[in-house]
């Protein structure tokens, strides 16, 4: 049974989104995703400053098992990436919702948040 925190939003490609107080969002991959992937060995992140569209593939997670593309959940601009993941990719397995955040974004349209899944909606997908 994977962990799906109630306060986060989700997309069907197994990323979580946390709305921060300043209107930016933090994005990572879910517990379900890291469990499916197995031991993560490399994480390739976009550069801060990159403009992205919703569903655009912008990062790669490479596990012992396979390489997986990670998609921008919403349109906007990448404002920060988690440099820690370069030296400690295993954090993705150990703390997917905390230490292993992937990137932070400024949204093109705040209203886009309404289209995201809530915890219950995401749980239904994982079944």
Selected binder of another protein within 12, 23, 55, 65 (CB under 8 A): 65
Q: Is 64 near another protein (CB under 8 A)?
A: yes
CB atoms within 10 A of CB 41: 15
Q: Is 41 near another protein (CB under 8 A)?
A: yes
Q: Is 44 near another protein (CB under 8 A)?
A: yes
Residue 78, strand partner residues: 105
Kindly state the smallest distance separating residue 38's Cβ from another protein, in Å: 6
Residue closer to another protein by CB (options 24, 36) is 36
Q: Which phi and psi (to 5°) does residue 85 adopt?
A: -70, -15
* Sign of the CA dihedral with 46 first, then 43, 23, and 12 last: positive
Total interface residues for another protein by CB under 8 A: 12
- Distance, in Å, from the CA atom of 28 to the CA atom of 96, rounded to the nearest integer, reads 7
Residues in contact with another protein by the rule CB under 8 A = 38-39, 41-42, 44, 62, 64-67, 90, 93
């Amino acid at each position: 049974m994977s962990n799906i925190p109630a306060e986060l939003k989700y997309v069907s490609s197994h990323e979580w989104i946390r709305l921060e107080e300043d209107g930016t969002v933090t994005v990572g991959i879910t517990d379900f995703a890291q469990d499916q992937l197995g031991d993560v060995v490399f994480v390739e992140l976009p550069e801060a400053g990159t403009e992205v569209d919703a569903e655009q593939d912008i990062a790669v997670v490479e596990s012992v098992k396979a390489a997986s593309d990670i998609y921008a959940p919403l349109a906007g601009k990448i404002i920060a990436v988690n440099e820690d993941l370069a030296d400690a990719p295993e954090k993705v397995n150990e703390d997917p919702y905390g230490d292993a955040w992937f990137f932070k974004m400024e949204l093109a349209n705040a209203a886009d948040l309404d289209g995201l899944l809530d915890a219950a909606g995401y749980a239904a997908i994982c079944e």
